[in-house]
Amino acid sequence: MPSFKLSEMAKKRAFEIAFVGLKPGVHEFSYEIDDQFFAEKGAIDISNVKASVKLFLEKHVGFMLLKFDIGGTAESNCDRCGNPLNLNLWDEFRVLVKLVDNPEEMNGSEEDPDVFYISRTESHIDVSNWIYEFVLLSIPLQRVCPPDAEGKSQCNLEALEKLREMEAKQIENNAKALWKDLDKFKEN
């Protein structure tokens, strides 16, 4: 299907910025990121990603400052009870891109993760990996049901009770197995 291929190519190109043709100063780009983008980059335990990314590219002679503003929403599950959760994405990240003669060598020895080197002969820069990484980093680490207005946990009590039962059984089984091993040890 040629139309599909064309749109795929267009998408790929959208993440490649032809910075060489940009005037010095700030340029704004925006991206809407969905599940498909994440599926192509590798699976993760969130779904329904609707991230909007604003990229401000500040062009200078010999270097560029990239600021990524991440916003939007995603869905996941509560780490405690497993209930579905709506997550708000919010964060910003900066990358300094320097144009040098030996980018591979420089990238190999650079310890600052926010500094990246590209060749002086480069005309395009692909920002898709940064966008992927930064959207992931903007997802809250703690994923639990938020408390209600009175500060009470809104976790699914039934599910929590089941989990506790399963844990208790697990402990009981482990203890039984341990005694069995001890008995065997005594028999020998």
User: What residue ranges bind Zn ion (CB under 5 A)?
Assistant: 78, 80-81, 83, 145, 155
Q: Dmax over Cα atoms in the chain, in whole Å?
A: 84
DSSP string, 125-153: EE-HHHHHHHHHHTS-S---PPP-TTS--
Q: CA 8, CA 25: separation in Å to the nearest integer?
A: 30
Q: Which is nearer to Zn ion, 62 or 151 (CB)?
A: 151
Q: Quick one: which of 13, 15, 14, 130 has its CA closest to 65?
A: 130
Beta carbon of residue 166, minimum distance to Zn ion (angstroms, whole number): 16
* Contact status, residue 30 vs residue 55, Cβ threshold 8 Å: yes
Residue 80 vs 124, nearer CB to Zn ion: 80
Smaller CB separation from Zn ion, 5 or 152 = 152
Q: Which is nearer to Zn ion, 111 or 158 (CB)?
A: 158
Shortest CB 43 distance to Zn ion, Å: 23
Question: Least distance in Å: CB of 59 to Zn ion?
Answer: 46
Min. distance of Cβ 150 from Zn ion in angstroms? 16
Kindly tell me which of 78 and 97 has the beta carbon lying closer to Zn ion: 78
- Taking the complex as a whole, the smallest distance from the CB of residue 74 to Zn ion amounts, in Å, to 16
The rounded distance, in Å, linking the Cα atoms of 159 and 165 is 10
Whether 19 and 64 have beta carbons less than 8 Å apart is answered as: yes
